[in-house]
């Protein structure tokens, strides 16, 4: 389904948009990127610009040819930066292999330092399995709704931990468009997984 902003850009159109940026537009783009850098692993605005372009080329971000490129890049960079900040906040879980050569802790104490919040290695494994299952389910839904631009914005925003108002702003949707797209997403999820996901 084509959005109100036209068809998703092809790789050639993406390349033309990037090559066609004027010096002033590059300056604006770098200033925008600079404003989104805080809390990410990036120190240079060009790193965030490149990361956003790479995600666009990989199909993880969709630019429609009817959208102004520079403002779209600003929204996409904000979304990518939010995603990076969310990833950075997630606690790191130590692996059992990290303890092999330490020799500092007796075996009965090893489990106590494997993770934060009392999470055991089994908990971490189950979390990874649940995450892998959720990613597989999400891929199925995305595949079925790949041409629905508004649902694409919602999925992108949810992946990046954004709230409803941020997703609406990023996708330039009205509240009605947003709610209607959420209903389409919910219906597709129920069609794919009637009665919910069975564990």
CB 154 within 8 A of CB 178: yes
Three-state secondary structure of 77-105:
HHHHHHHHHHHHHCCCCCCHHHHCCCCCC
Residues ≥6 apart with Cβ < 8 Å to 60 = 156
Longest dimension (CA), the chain: 63
Q: What is the pLDDT along the chain (199 residues), one digit of tens a residue?
A: 455 667 888 999 999 999 999 988 898 899 989 988 888 888 889 999 999 999 888 888 889 888 889 999 999 999 898 888 877 555 544 444 444 444 444 444 433 434 444 444 545 555 666 666 766 776 777 777 777 888 888 877 777 677 788 888 877 888 898 889 888 888 887 877 766 555 4
- Predicted structure pTM score: 0.47
Whether the CB-CB separation of 115 and 94 falls below 8 Å is answered with yes
Which structure tokens are listed for 152?
């694409």
Number of other residues whose CB lies within 10 A of the CB of residue 18: 15
């Amino acid at each position: 389904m084509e959005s109100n902003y036209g068809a998703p850009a092809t790789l050639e159109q993406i390349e033309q948009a990037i090559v066609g940026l004027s010096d002033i537009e590059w300056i604006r783009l770098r200033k925008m990127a600079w404003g989104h850098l805080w809390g990410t692993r990036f120190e240079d605005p060009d790193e965030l610009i490149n990361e956003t372009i790479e995600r666009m080329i990989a199909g993880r971000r969709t630019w429609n040819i009817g959208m102004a490129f520079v403002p779209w890049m600003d929204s996409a960079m904000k979304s990518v930066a939010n995603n990076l900040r969310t990833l950075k906040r997630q606690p790191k879980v130590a692996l059992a292999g990290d303890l092999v050569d330490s020799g500092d802790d007796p075996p009965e104490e090893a489990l106590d330092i494997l993770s934060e919040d009392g999470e055991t290695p089994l908990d971490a494994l189950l979390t990874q399995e649940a995450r892998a299952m959720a990613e597989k389910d999400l891929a199925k839904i995305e595949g079925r709704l790949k041409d629905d631009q508004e649902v694409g914005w919602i999925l992108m925003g949810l992946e990046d931990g954004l709230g409803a108002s941020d997703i609406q702003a990023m996708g330039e949707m009205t509240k009605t468009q947003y709610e209607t797209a959420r209903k389409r997403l919910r219906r597709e999820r129920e069609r794919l997984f009637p009665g919910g996901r069975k564990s």
